[in-house]
């Protein structure tokens, strides 16, 4: 398969994205960037709607466009805000309130 368009178009992508969404929705997976709940019933243009995010952006890693291990559940707004930038750093939970 050609890397051109991988991860954003074509039958393979549509099938992969639909299967990924189903798994995420069944487990009620939160947004991997902000950790908040995703509104799986929201329309596709709503900020808190489900969106498939590529951990390694397709623009810089086209060979990973259709790799299921490169996919992450996200909010539409979080995915748009990130663009093709670096993945957010997970700093973890505070051990106590300071």
Domain boundaries of the chain, sorted by first residue:
10-82
3-class SS at 49? strand
Q: 50-67, pLDDT tens digit by residue?
A: 999 999 998 899 999 999
Asked if residue 33 lies in contact with residue 82, where contact means CB atoms within 8 angstroms, the answer is yes
Would you say 74 and 33 are in contact if contact means Cβ atoms under 8 Å apart? Answer: yes
Could you tell me the pTM of the whole model?
0.79
Structure tokens at 53: 């995010």
The pLDDT score that the predictor gives to residue 51 is 95
3-state secondary structure of 68: helix
């Amino acid at each position: 398969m050609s890397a051109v368009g991988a991860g954003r178009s074509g039958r393979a992508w549509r099938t992969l994205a639909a299967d990924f969404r189903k798994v995420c929705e069944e487990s009620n997976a939160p947004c991997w960037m902000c950790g908040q709940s995703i509104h799986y019933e929201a329309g596709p243009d709503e900020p808190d709607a489900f969106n498939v995010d590529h951990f390694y952006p397709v623009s810089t890693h086209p060979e990973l466009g259709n790799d299921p291990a490169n996919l992450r559940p996200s909010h539409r707004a979080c995915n748009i805000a990130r663009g093709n930038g670096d993945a957010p750093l997970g700093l973890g939970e505070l051990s106590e309130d300071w």
